[in-house]
Amino acid sequence: MYIEFYCLLFILSLVTFIGSLFLKDDIARLICAVLSAIQFAALALASFCIEVVHVLEVNNSLTEHTTVIYSPSLAYVFVAFMIVSILIGVDVVLGLLRRGVENV
């Protein structure tokens, strides 16, 4: 995965994670929690191989040089965020079920 897409996915996952924490509507919180969990899972998988492409000028011609970064320790951080997102989703679902039982 290229570093630009990685950074964009990281920003989107943080936005949805924060949305799952602070939104008032339960359905919106559930959607944000599910999206956040999926995005953090993708980030965890992508952390094992991040490609950084450099364009260098060598002998008056442009050449691409690719650097691959392996970061499994960063993947553990994203897995932790994914687990928290799943727990937020479970909390929202249990709250909706409890409210449904109270209304009956």
Q: Which residues contact 63 (CB under 8 A, 6 or more apart)?
A: 55, 56, 57
Task: Please give the single-letter amino acid code of residue 98.
Answer: R
Read off the pLDDT of residues 67-87 as tens digits, 9 standing for 90 and up. 777 777 888 888 999 999 999
**What three-state secondary structure class fits 87?**
helix
Beta strands (DSSP E) in 16-71 are 50-58, 61-69
* Of the candidates 33, 37, 7, the residue with the CA atom closest to the CA atom of residue 19: 33
Mean pLDDT of the chain: 84
Q: Which residues face 62 on adjacent strands?
A: 57
Phi then psi dihedrals of residue 62, to 5 deg: -90, 135
The total of structural domains in the chain comes to 1
List the domain range (segments joined by +) for residue 51: 3-103
Mean pLDDT throughout 32-53?
Answer: 84
